[in-house]
Structures are given as structure tokens and as C-alpha cells.
Amino acid sequence: MWFIATTPNVCTQDSWIEEMSDKACVEKDNKVTFSCRYSNPNAKLRWFKNHLEIFHGHKYNFDVDDEGTLRLVIFRVSLEDAGRYTCQTDDKETSAWLTVEGLCRVSLSDHLC
């Protein structure tokens, strides 16, 4: 007599394994990196800044490493880059704030910032 072992259908809900964390940098830094991990490596992801979708290019770079860590790299940081960044898949998202500190500008007539 043969028995076939079966496992019950287990429905596991995808979730964030590692959420994004807030970052702070100085204006004119070469880059700043946000990272997070999601349980489903095949999920379709989208990145946002202040609720507006951002796209891969000269300013933003999206990357995934062998362990499934998702990265958003922001190049040539400026004051305008400050805001809330979000990684979203389906109905789940993780967000973090980027704070950009301005450089001290000194003119000949003003010796203090």
C-alpha cells in the first residue's frame, strides 16, 4: 500500500523583512542610500518621493543584491532631495525621511552663517 504525503495549502502573507530607516546628510554629498527587504523577491516594486513616483536614471538608482536587499541610491544630494521616500509593492509600503542639511554660505560682508 502506498501513501502520498501532502502538505496543506499554507497561505503566507508577504511582508517587509527589513523596513527603511530615516537618513540625514549634507547638501552636496555624493550619494545617500535607503535599503529595505521584502519577503517576496519577485514582487513588483515602485519607489516614490513625497507620493510622486520616481524612476531609475542619473538621479536615482534602484538595485537588488543577492540577499534580496532593495536599495534606492540618490546621487548628488541637494536640499530639494529632502522628503519622504517610499518603497511600495501591491498594498504594502515602507517609508523613511531624508533630511538634508544645507551648506554654510559665507559672503565677504557676512562672517557668520
Q: pLDDT tens for residues 43-93? A: 899 999 999 999 999 999 999 988 889 999 999 999 999 999 999 998 899
Give the pLDDT score at 41: 79
Quick check: is 6 in a domain? Answer: no
Provide the pLDDT confidence category of residue 42 given band limits of 50, 70 and 90.
Answer: confident
Per the structure block, which three cell numbers stand in for 22? 530615516
Task: Tell me the residue type at 29.
Answer: D
Kind of pairing, strands 46-49 and 83-89? antiparallel
CA 15 to chain CA centroid, Å, is 15
Quick check: is 92 in a domain? Answer: yes
Quick check: is 107 in a domain? Answer: no
Quick check: is 84 in a domain? Answer: yes
Quick check: is 10 in a domain? Answer: no
* Residues 64, 65, 68, 71, Cα dihedral to 10°: -40
Give the pLDDT score at 48: 98
Quick check: is 7 in a domain? Answer: no
CATH number at residue 81: 2.60.40.10
Burial (CB count within 10 angstroms: exposed 0-12, middle 13-18, buried 19+), residue 74: buried
What is the mean pLDDT of the segment spanning 92-112? Answer: 79
User: φ, ψ for residue 80 (rounded to 5)?
Assistant: -70, -15
Quick check: is 56 in a domain? Answer: yes
Question: For the chain, how many residues are written?
Answer: 113
At 80 the three-state DSSP class reads helix
Q: Which residue has the higher pLDDT, 28 or 113?
A: 28
Report how many domains make up the chain.
1
- 44: containing domain: 16-101
Burial (CB count within 10 angstroms: exposed 0-12, middle 13-18, buried 19+), residue 67: exposed
Instruction: Write down the mean pLDDT value for the chain.
Output: 86
Quick check: is 88 in a domain? Answer: yes
Range scoring the smallest mean pLDDT among 8-12, 13-17, 98-102: 8-12
Give Rg (Cα) of the chain: 20
